[in-house]
Structure 1
Amino acid sequence: MMRILIVSDMHGSLGKVKRLASIRRELTVVAGDISRCGSIEEAKAVLGELARQSPVAWIPGNCDSPELVRVSIANAECIHMKVYRFKELVLAGVGGSIYTPFGTPFEYSEEEYSGMLAELKEEIKKNSNGGKVVLVSHTPPYMSGLDRVRGGAYVGSPSLRKLIAEARPLLVATGHIHEAWGVASVEGVLAVNPGPLEAGKYAIVDIDPAENMVRVRLARLTESPAADEL
């Protein structure tokens, strides 16, 4: 059994990231929006702190600079458009997001995203070698509930939903939509939006790849740091 901490939408909240140190896990998965306004130095500080706590697999979000993917941080693997093996798992990711109303640094069209996903699907086929896949995308899948904004609209990607149906990963980790903190079944695949760590929210996943077993628990930082231990 492997324990993974999944976080997203930190937006530079280094103090909250430091409080995660008390949470036992073998791997941290970061689903994007590490910085507030594209600051590479801010993102490096956040990722560096997480990498001191455990190995990290990460993607940038739409609020991060596209140049962040070129930054090297010890013990932290960028999985944007890549496949990364961690023990029995294969992690594959796509950072940035489809267009938003806010003109953030790392955005693209649904058509571009569909092409990126097609490339990633090929990478998974070539490099998974039988490992169980965890797919990480800052953009959530369409009509999953994990993409529903406060006004009720669904703003996720149909292309991602299609890939989930075809690739059948063991787990999907996403973020981006702060108010859509939750767990959903998408095309029969478990998916989680851990919520914004900026607001103290995260998810703990216990995963047994050999048995295809995944258990997700949503959690949040408490008022008392001593009570955060899991």
Structure 2
Amino acid sequence: MYWIAVGDVHESTGVLESIPGIHEAKGLILTGDLTNRGREDKARRVLDLARKANPTLLAQMGNMDHPEVGELLVRSGANIHRQARLLAPGLVLMGVGWSTPTPFGTPSEVPEAELVRWLDETHRLAQALAARDGAAGGFHLVATIHTPPLGTTLDRTSRGVHVGSAGVRAFIEKAQPEVVICGHIHEAVGEEHLGRSHVLNPGLLAEGGYVRLGLTNGQLRASLERV
């Protein structure tokens, strides 16, 4: 069983059909920035095109999406921002979109403290969902967090400046999700470990990056791939 996760769509979905196995995947996860400062009409087109690649779609908005995009995701049943979802028995997904403040005044930014509050609240939802699933004592947790952790290869701009979130990093180091998929900084494609957490940034979808998330014989594995 595997899922495909992509980030930073920015209204460019053409690469999706080139991802090996996307039609056979259990589902497709969009981790943020569906549009370019877009509203509901732009986001709906992205969702419609993404569902042609795989009809089982989960998504969260990023900082480049207006808040009404989040409302569309809720109505469509695809939303994972501030939500926990059971991907398979013993495998829980939690999502937090938006971003911390940027110099660019993008549509959906929140203060660091608010983002941390969202992370903590959503983590509790994930734990409660695992308990209802009968796996509270040991479950796989995947977190899609649009904003990358500070001071890693995943938040470094082309000028070498680290622009991620200290709060996201602290959350990862404390909660230790098994896999974290972030984005936001397109050029910071890569992966590294923070404690036991495998953190990946697939970069801009238009450049072919994606994450393959597989669960086989109780073992969870995430791999950074490129078309």
Q: TM-score, normalised by structure 1?
A: 0.86
> Aligned equivalents of 2:85 and 2:95: distance in 1?
9
Tell me what 2:209 maps to. Answer: 201
Q: Is the 8 A contact 2:172 2:197 kept in 1?
A: yes
- From 84, 92, 98, the equivalent of 1:90 is 92
1:46 aligned partner: 46
Deviation at 1:125, TM superposition (A): 2.4
Is the Cα contact below 8 Å between 1:83 and 1:128 reproduced in 2? no
- Which runs of 5 or more structure 2 residues have no equivalent in the other structure? none
**Which sits farther off after the overlay, 60-69 or 11-20?**
11-20
The 1:195–1:95 alpha-carbon spacing in structure 2 relative to 1, beyond 3 Å, is same
Deviation sequence 1:147-172 (CA, Å, 0-9, x none) = 11111111111211222122221210
The match for 1:136 is 144
Distance in 2, Cα, partners of 1:72 & 1:162: 28
For each residue in 1:128-165, what CA deviation from the matched residue of structure 2 results, as whole angstroms up to 9, or x when unmatched? Answer: 22242110111011122111111111111121122212
Aligned to 2:192: 184
* SS of aligned partner of 2:218: helix
Secondary structure of the residue that 1:206 maps to in structure 2?
Answer: strand
Does 23-32 or 71-80 show the bigger shift? Answer: 71-80
Q: SS of 2:78's equivalent?
A: strand
> Which AA in structure 1 matches 2:72?
V
What is the 5 A alignment of 1:137-176? 137-176=145-184
Secondary structure class of the residue paired with 1:142: coil
Cα contact 2:13–2:50 (8 A) shared by 1: no
2:180 match: secondary structure: strand
Matches of residues 211-226 of structure 1 in structure 2 within 5 Å? 211=219, 213-220=220-227
The 1:42/1:209 distance shift into structure 2, 3 A limit, reads farther
Alignment correspondent of 2:129: 127
Q: Which amino acid aligns with 1:218?
A: E
Match of 2:108 in 1: 106
Shift of 1:76: 5.6
1:22 Cα offset (Å): 5.8
| Letter aligned with residue 26 of structure 1 | K
State the Cα RMSD in Å: 2.1
Find the counterpart in structure 2 of residue 37 from structure 1.
Answer: 37
Per mean C-alpha deviation after superposition, the further-off stretch among 156-165 and 89-98 is 156-165
Q: Distance in 2 between matches of 1:85 and 1:219?
A: 26
* Letter matched to residue 217 of structure 1: L
- State the TM-score, normalizing by the size of structure 2: 0.87
Alignment of 1:45-84 (within 5 A): 45-54=45-54, 55-72=56-73, 77-84=78-85
Structure 1: tracts of 5 or more residues without a match: 221-230
How far apart, in 2, do the equivalents of 1:14 and 1:117 lie? 28
Shift of 1:70: 1.5
Amino acid at match of 1:36: N
User: Do the aligned partners of 1:21 and 1:53 also contact (CA within 8 Å) in 2?
Assistant: no
Identity of aligned residues (%): 31
